[in-house]
Structures are given as structure tokens and as C-alpha cells.
Structure 1
Amino acid sequence: MSADLDKRPWLKSYPASVPAEIDVQRYGSLVELLEESFQRHARRTATVCMNTTQSYAAVNEMSQSLGAWLQAKGLARGARVAIMMPNLPQYPVAIAAVLRAGCTVVNVNPLYSARELEHQLRDSGAEAIIVLENFAHTLAQVLERTPVRHVVLAAMGDLLGFWKGQLVNFAVRHVRKMVAEFSIPLGEGVSVTRFNLALAEGTRMSLKRVAIGPEDVAFLQYTGGTTGVSKGATLLHRQVVANVLQCEAWFQPMLAKLGTERALTVACALPLYHIFALTACFMLGVRLGMTNLLIPNPRDIPGLVRTLAQRPVNMFPAVNTLFNALANDPDFARLDFSELVISTGGGMAVQQSTAERWKQVTGCPVVEGYGLSETSPVVTINRFDDASFSGTIGLPMPNTDVAIRDDEGRDLPLGSAGEICIRGPQVMAGYWNRPDETAKVMTSDGFFRSGDVGVMDPSGRIRIVDRKKDMILVSGFNVYPNEIEQVVSLHPGVLECAAIGVPDERSGEAVKLFVVRRDPGLSESDLADYCRENFTAYKRPRHIEFRDELPKSNVGKILRRELRA
């Protein structure tokens, strides 16, 4: 055991109820895990969306029908099927259907431009796509230049019941005019089928059992393309299964305090096409028989608050910007948080000011974790029984090794800053059809090079310093935007901020700060004085720019690259 503690110092900081190793090979495939959960939790509510519920039994039946329909279209084992929609009841059904048909899910951001969509469909080799009609106009522009031959068109009200569904579809199409005109080019061999019709036709078909194994590809999870062209992280069935079981081992002791006789509720405000929500909301939710409260548009904060008011939420995964927006909303503060026991932050650094405000409003601390598309995603997480804000990303998950290494790949001593490298059963098989890119990030001893700079302390907790590419070099000194943003966000007059490096004749680069004010009276000189008190000279922002808002991804992550552009 002492040898383990030398190599894995984090184990001595583990909660007593969480094992260092779990059996991640318990299931031969993700399908096996899903189908067992569908049967076990059949009577529980799987999803709630727009006040309409779907049971696990219903998701089981519908995904079986849709899976059979996909097979009838000639989609063979391993065929890629894209899914392009926000958080709607059709999404979990589509994921399960594609996997049960023996195919691979390609999650697509519905807000993609035509160029981005074309790249992902061509790169993945997707033969079919399940798309919400609101985004069909984008697909129509590129379909003929992609391998897609089968289009399933979903509508917002498809699974909301006949009358309610008709009303919602009429409002979406004709009142709010959210569906742009489109014409799908029906080339040779291209079919277009409405989602509900595909379900109906599938009920008259039989889902053929496909011999899916742990080495089959479950998901092509595309990276955001921040380091060049967007690449597909190849996630095998065994890798996603492993991360679901790792998360279960970490989360279950806390959730068990609420009892297991009823379905607990997870707020699914993060988009399901994003790896964070895919695992932390849908996959873990199915495993534990939880109800996913689906939020189609989390940017509509008033609408989100009204939805959250409808039922108690037990688990709330989010990014810093969403926690911040809700914690500063007066209507949100009036909600009942008595049953909220887990708030997990990821996707970007959780800032101390946000964490403190969230805890003040909800009584529930934000527990920060860390993961990537390439790791299914969860790598590390803080303990749930520690209510204090540490600014760390926590401890490596069971079965996971984390090393802090220098540019030559040598392990660094505790307390030294270096690249966070990860080895574990949840690490991807590589980038889809990109062996050259895979070779750049995978080491000979099986570690994935994350590109993030971090420090591990003697307890095994890891603190992210920054992305390598975001680091600012001022007169030979390293400045990390995360540090600047963490400190500036603590100023009472600041709502949001972002720091980037800009060219500077004297120092090579200088820090530029973008700020969204909470206090309209906050001036540049006020902020400059604050920075002078809190930063050494080379770290102080030389340029300060106030903005009404900062550019964000659809997940709510502040896009520094757009600020640099």
C-alpha cells in the first residue's frame, strides 16, 4: 500500500467509502449497461421536458423501435449516426437507439455553421443524421457534399403528446418563427423521414441483436477545435462504461443520503452533445435511475428559473458562467434548494466569487472537477464532503493515474508546474482517422497529454494553472489568465472577466483584461488600483476594456480565442 501511496499520493485523501480501484470491466458494452438500467428503473421517470414526462420503460421501447428502423435502412455495425439537437426528450431516445443498433453516435452542436457541420459529417463519415427541424436549413446547405443518406427530422413537440405537441410545433414554426425555410436536396439514395414516423415504422420491426464488444466505438466526440481543426475523440464502449462506473463510485455515497426509493433529479442544463452532460447527466442518470430535467435553452435564464421552480433538483452540473448567472438572479434565489446536495463545476475554472455566491444562495457548495472530451470526460473531482472552496480540480478518479510532466516527458516533483498527463480506462483510443494527431498526445507509457498546466500538492489535489497555449509570456515571465481572472472576479464591481495576451514592443506580450461590470460605476482606474494591490508588476493588466458581454461557447465557456481575434 505504501508503494501505491508513493505513486498515487491522492489515495490517502480519498473518502472512506470510495475505493481506489473498481471493476470497470463489469459490462461488455454500453448497450448492456443501458438495457439493464432501462429494465431496473422501468417505472421511474427518465426525462421531464416542458412539463411532459417519459418513463424509462418508454425510452426503452422507443429506442428499440428507432434502433430497428435504423437497421432496416441498412446501417451496419459501426456506421456513424449524427445527432444534432438541443436537450429534448428525443435526444436520449436517439442516443440509445443508435448504440443499440450497433452504430456509433456522432454528437453535433446544433449551432454549428454550415462549414463546421460539413467538416464534422465528412470527417466522421456519418451515413445518417437525426436533426431538429430548427437546424435543418444548415444541413440542407451541405448535405450533398456529405456521406449522409438518411435524414430523420425531429420537431420540438414530437414527444410531448398529440395536442400539446401540435400546439408547441405551431408556436415554434409560426408564432416564434424558429424554423427557417429549408429544402432537403433529395439526391440519389437520400431519404427524409419524420422522427415520429420512424418510431411508428420501427414498432413493426424487430431490433436485431448486434455483437457489440468493449472495443467497438460508441461515440465520436468532437473537440471544440481550439487547437486547430476539430478532431473526433474516439470513445470506445469500455471507456464510456468505465467513466460511468467511476462517477457512480464517487457520486453514489452522497446521493444515497437522499434515499434510493425514488428517482432523484439532475438538472440537465448543459447540452447533451457536450461530453460533460452526456456522461454526468444522461449516462450517470440512467445508471442511477435519475430523472433528467431537460433544459432546451439554458441561456434563457428566466425560463430556466421557471423550469427549476417546478420540482426539487438534487444534482446540478454546470459551468462557471451558468452558476454565476443563476446565483445573481433574484428569482433564482427564491427557489427551494433543500434537496440540492451536489453541484458540480467543470468545463472551465470555477471562480471563487461564483462558488461563494452559489453557496450563499443555495446552501450547496460547488464541487469542481476536471475532464476532457478525450477522457470520457471525468479525470479528477473534489470530495463532496468538503464544503470549502479550494480552487483545485480535486483528486484523480478510481483506476486513474495523473502525472505532472515537463516538456521532455519527465515526471516533476510535487509542487512543480507541468503538463497534466492522464492514464486510465476512460482515456480515448485516439483521434478518429488522425494517427499523426494521436501520436502527438499519447505517450509510450499510455498517458494522454492534456495540454493543461497544473500543480499537484502533497495531498494529491491538482490545481490547474492554465492551458499551455493560453499562457502569456511577459518579459520572460509566465502569466496565467486563470490566475488573473480568479482574482479580478473577486472585485465586487465585476460580473465576468477574461484575460488574454496582446503583442507589446517592450515586453513581448502584455495582459489585456476584458470586463463585464456588475457595478456600472466601476472605472478603469478603480480596477487598475485593485490590480496594483493584488498582482506583481508583470502580471498587471496593461489594457482594460469594458464590454456588455463576453463571447461564449454554447456550453457557456468564455472564448478567449475570439477575444484574441
Structure 2
Amino acid sequence: MEKPWLSSYPKEIPHTISYDLKPLHQYLRDTALKYPKKKALHFMGKSLTFQEVLEKAERFAAYLQMLGIQKGDRVAIMLPNCPQGIIGYYGALLAGAIVVQTNPLYTERELEYQLKDAGAKAILCLDLLYPKVTNVKSHTALEHLIFTSIADFLPFPKNLLYPFIQKKQTKIVVNIVETDDIHLWKSAMTPGKLQEVPCNPAEDLALLQYTGGTTGFPKGVMLTHQNLVSNTVMGIYWLYNCVPGEEVVLGALPFFHVYGMTAVMNISIMQAYQMILIPKFDVEAMLKAIKKHKVTLFPGAPTMYIALLNHPKLQQYDISSVRACISGSAALPVEVQEQFEKITGGKLVEGYGLTESSPVTHSNFLWAKRVPGSIGVPWPNTDAKVISLETGEPLSVHEIGEIVVKGPQIMKGYWNRPEATAETLRDGWLHTGDVGYMDEEGFFYVVDRKKDMIVASGFNIYPREVEEVLYEHEKVREVVVVGIPDPYRGETVKAYVVLKEGVTCTIEEIDQYARKYLAAYKVPKVYEFRTELPKTMIGKILRRALIEEEIQKNKDEKLG
């Protein structure tokens, strides 16, 4: 059978789906028409209905057009999860612009690179970022800077107290004066006349989403309206037990990351789910939100679930309302999945995707057969296969090679990078760079990133396999495994370990445990205990940063 995974599909999920080929922003209009008074989002004590979100998005769109933003112009959004981020995103699309999602934690160098590469004409960002954004403006194509404050959407009296709290916490006093090119949120919210912009969903870009830049400079992934709509609709079918207008979603994944944008924001807008916005990763705030708002859906990253399970006050919070979680952005340790399901009674499954696929291509079923340790099966309308790393020929079941995928959610290409596009997209197949295999039933397994594979004394070692074993040690909270230079073996295995709070453990203990479950050549030769690991904003462990640290250490030792 060409697609063996289809026989595992429950009857509720069709093998192929059809969806209305319309612009992404039209779905906000549809939902606001159907559920005008329903709460769309809750943010630090204040709620907005779908009708209010649409009205504000249309005002923002009209304001952008008044500033001269035309179809195809790029508008950057540099915000944490807050109402302005959602309003700005859909407003920019309504104006005919292409959104460029930008991480608020970027340094000036990173920000300048992205804005320059995208050619963004306007940016919507937090007032706290005023110094950073104004410093880079002259080196970019930026014509307009629109500033907003967290206080703009806080209820009374929090909105009045916020500037004093901000000053105390950040030591930054922001006093922005409007000029021809500097604008405040309240001006952007004045009613204006919105010109309708024609959109071809199959061709017109909705988003430039930059890759993490783990290899070289970040690349702008061109995602069309159709890419984003199709992936969101696939997600809705996957969550077939969820009821339109009824679910409450925890918005802890940042929306400037493609997974948070699709799995939280776009699905919620399409299905009229209420989003509980969490502006920064704070475990106690997440626990309080789940308990208070009876959150039912919690898309997240493994580090979020790990942090929640290890929180000292976990027992004080009832989080049994959580029914479904799809974990993305990194491998989900089986141990974490089992513990989380035991505590919530809900389902937590691993999914898989890339920025280049809007982002989801595979997932385990939530309410049907699932295989812990696998990334699940391809979503409807999505094809996948494993090809030889040497020849590119398709491989049989259980043979390890590169996973390639195809479907309507696959990007149009990389922005202004035809060579990189040609290398990654071949005959419609996206070459993921991930190494894995498929079993007889069509469940896929990621062994590791092609570039993360460790070759020690001629043996191929996949970090994920070693990490899975170490995660099962009762004292280990987090672990990451990398290859470090070794004069004899070429490379050798090093494990960075973060212990659970309040426990003591020796390297010998961990090593003995690893030797029980791993072949000798896979056992780490070097261990290092850390109090924390370097991570991205979404909580993905930065393996590359640790490798670079090792390379630098080696250089210093040679010089020394």
C-alpha cells in the first residue's frame, strides 16, 4: 500500500479534505459574523469578543493603508502574545500586506538582518523596544514605526498602574512622541476607510516566517494564504472531538513562532475558540490560567510540559480540564508524555513539522491508535516517504534515511534565495533534513537531524536515542546530547544534564544507568551538569549553542 498510514486513520478523519480557497483573514470575518459576542481572547483580566477583534483589525488595516502600505508590502510584528499581536496580524493581512513575525528578544543585529532581508516598510512593536527599533531604522527600509504598550489592553486600574510597575521592573522609561514616521496604537485605532484588496490565496503570500538560523543566516520562508489555511483546516480535522465555539486554548506558545501561530491563533480564529494569552513563559501563570479558565486545549513544546510537571506547586492546581495537547518543536520524551497524561487525564501526543510546512506534517492521533516515541502519521492531503541519504531513492520500512514531505501546506520557497529553494524543494517534495524511518503501519520516527548525527569511530550515533534513555532516569529533568571533537574517535558523545530540583546525583550514577540501556559506543564519554540549558523563546534547546561553546573551548585550550 502506497500510504500505509491511511489504514490507521479513525473514521472521523477523512483521508483527503477540501477547504474553501479564500484568504486567511476572511476566516476572522466569518467567525465574527457567526459568533460576534463570543469571547475571542482573554489577556491579564480583560476579554475581547470576535466582533471587537475584527473591528480593531479593520481599523488597523485602514491605518496601514493611510500610511501608504500597499498589496505585497511587508509589515513586521514584534510582540509577545497580546491582543495587539492578533489584531496587527489580521489587520496587516486585511490591508493586503505580508506579515513578518519577529521575535521581541532579538538583538539589534538580528533585528536589523531580518528587517533588511524582508524589506519591511512598517513595524508594530512594544514601546519598550523603542530604543532598539529606532537604532536600526536607518539601516532598513522601515518607513513607519507603530508602538503599543501592554497597558493598551489592560483593564482599569491595571492600565494606570502598569507604567509604574514597568519602570520598577525594567528601569526603562518610555515617552514616545508621535511624528510623521512614529505612531502610537491609539492613533492606529481611530476609525478609517478600509479599501478591499484582491487576494489570490494560492499565490499571494500571507507570511514571511524566518527559520531559526541554526545553520547560517535565517531564511525567510514564503507561506501563502493557501499554505496557512490548509494546515489550519487539517488541524481542525485532527482535533475532531473539539467543538466549535466551545474550547478554551492556552496561548503560551509565542505567536511569532509558526507553531503557536497555526496551532493556537489561526485554529482558534477559525473555530471560535477562546484564547487565554500568556505573554511570557511563566509556569505558575500557566497553571493559574488552566485552573481558572478551565483550559481544554494546550498546544506546547516539551520543555513547557517538563517545567509544568516539575513545578513545586503543581499539586495545588486542578489541571484536569486539559483534554488534548499536541507537542511540537522538539522530541517529546515518552516519560514526559506518560506523566502528563496521568496528571491531567487528557491526551498528550507528539507531532512534527517545520517552518517550511506551515508547520505541521505529522502527528499521533489523540483519540485513536498512537505509538509513543513516533511522530505519528502524515496529516490528510499530506504525503511522506523516507529516501536514501546517499542515492535519494525511496527506502523500505525500517530503513533509515531522510524524511521528505509533500502537501498543500508546503512553502512557496525561500524569500530571495532561489538556490536554497531549489536545494530544499525538489519536484514538490520538501527535503526536511531530518533522519528517520517508517514502520509497516505508516508511523514515522525521527532518529535525528541529519546535521546533528554524531559519527564516532565510524559509528552513526543519533542524539535523540541517547536522550530518550537518559530522560528515563528518575533524577533527570532535562538533557541534551551533542557530538564534540575527539582526537581519536573523530567525535565523541557528550551529555548536558539538568537535574530535578532538590536531588543530588553523581556522573557515575548517570553513566551506569546509560550503560544498562545503550550499546557501549553510544554511551556518553563526557557528562556535564548544568542548572539550565540554552533555549529559544519557544523552549527548544539550542544544541548548536552548546556545540559552538565546545568548539570555542577547544580553540582556547590549544591557544593556552
Query: By the TM > 0.5 criterion, same fold?
Result: yes
Whole-angstrom CA distance in 1 between matches of 2:483 and 2:409: 34
- After superposition, residues 333-482 of structure 1 pair within 5 angstroms as 333-386=315-368, 390-407=372-389, 408-443=391-426, 445-482=427-464
Whole-angstrom CA distance in 1 between matches of 2:89 and 2:496: 39
1:542 alignment counterpart: 525
- Shift in Å, 1:183: 7.9
- After superposition, residues 276-295 of structure 1 pair within 5 angstroms as 276-295=259-278
Determine which of 223, 230, 244 is the counterpart of 1:242.
230
Determine which of 195, 217, 232 is the counterpart of 2:185.
195
- After superposition, residues 146-165 of structure 1 pair within 5 angstroms as 146-161=140-155, 163-165=157-159
2:6 alignment counterpart: 11
- Shift in Å, 1:532: 1.1
- Shift in Å, 1:387: 7.9
Determine which of 473, 488, 494 is the counterpart of 1:506.
488
- Shift in Å, 1:391: 0.7
- Shift in Å, 1:166: 2.3
Matched-pair identity in %: 37
For the Cα contact (< 8 Å) 1:365–1:388, is it kept in 2? no
Find out whether 1:491 has 2:452 as its counterpart.
no
Please list the CA deviations of residues 262-294 of structure 1 after superposition, one character each: whole Å capped at 9, or x if unmatched: 531100101010001100000001111001100
Give the partner amino acid of 1:8: K
Find out whether 1:269 has 2:252 as its counterpart.
yes
- Shift in Å, 1:409: 2.0
Determine which of 124, 136, 143 is the counterpart of 2:130.
136
2:193 alignment counterpart: 206
Give the partner amino acid of 1:307: A
Please list the CA deviations of residues 139-193 of structure 1 after superposition, one character each: whole Å capped at 9, or x if unmatched: 1221110101111101011122454322223322x2223646688997xxx6111
Q: What SS does the aligned partner of 1:310 have?
A: helix
What TM-score do you get using the length of structure 1 for normalisation? 0.94
1:310 alignment counterpart: 292
Whole-angstrom CA distance in 2 between matches of 1:541 and 1:65: 57
Aligned residues: 545
Whole-angstrom CA distance in 2 between matches of 1:310 and 1:50: 12
Determine which of 94, 98, 102 is the counterpart of 1:104.
98
Give the partner amino acid of 1:544: Y
Query: Which runs of 5 or more residues in structure 1 are unaligned?
Result: 1-5
- Shift in Å, 1:29: 1.5
Give the partner amino acid of 1:228: G
Give the partner amino acid of 2:112: E
- Shift in Å, 1:40: 1.6
1:176 alignment counterpart: 169
Please list the CA deviations of residues 512-538 of structure 1 after superposition, one character each: whole Å capped at 9, or x if unmatched: 010011263210111111111111111
For the Cα contact (< 8 Å) 2:124–2:146, is it kept in 1? yes
For the Cα contact (< 8 Å) 1:481–1:499, is it kept in 2? yes
2:554 alignment counterpart: none
For the Cα contact (< 8 Å) 2:71–2:97, is it kept in 1? yes
Give the partner amino acid of 1:218: A
What TM-score do you get using the length of structure 2 for normalisation? 0.94
Query: Which runs of 5 or more residues in structure 2 are unaligned?
Result: 549-560
For the Cα contact (< 8 Å) 1:305–1:331, is it kept in 2? no
Counterparts in 2 of 1:153 and 1:532: CA distance versus 1, 3 Å: same
2:552 alignment counterpart: none
Find out whether 1:226 has 2:214 as its counterpart.
yes
Whole-angstrom CA distance in 2 between matches of 1:286 and 1:364: 23
2:79 alignment counterpart: 85
- Shift in Å, 1:255: 1.1
2:551 alignment counterpart: none
Whole-angstrom CA distance in 2 between matches of 1:234 and 1:116: 19
Give the partner amino acid of 1:125: G
Whole-angstrom CA distance in 2 between matches of 1:308 and 1:20: 33
1:3 alignment counterpart: none
Whole-angstrom CA distance in 2 between matches of 1:178 and 1:38: 40
Q: What SS does the aligned partner of 2:398 have?
A: coil
Please list the CA deviations of residues 429-467 of structure 1 after superposition, one character each: whole Å capped at 9, or x if unmatched: 000010011011011x21000000111111111011000
Whole-angstrom CA distance in 1 between matches of 2:55 and 2:151: 19
Whole-angstrom CA distance in 2 between matches of 1:446 and 1:387: 30
Q: What SS does the aligned partner of 2:72 have?
A: coil
For the Cα contact (< 8 Å) 1:46–1:56, is it kept in 2? yes
Larger CA deviation: 363-372 vs 223-232: 363-372
Larger CA deviation: 141-150 vs 382-391: 382-391
Determine which of 52, 62, 70 is the counterpart of 1:58.
52
Whole-angstrom CA distance in 1 between matches of 2:353 and 2:257: 12
Q: CA RMSD of the aligned region, Å?
A: 1.7
For the Cα contact (< 8 Å) 1:441–1:449, is it kept in 2? yes
2:558 alignment counterpart: none
Q: What SS does the aligned partner of 2:534 have?
A: coil
Whole-angstrom CA distance in 1 between matches of 2:496 and 2:369: 30
Give the partner amino acid of 1:175: K
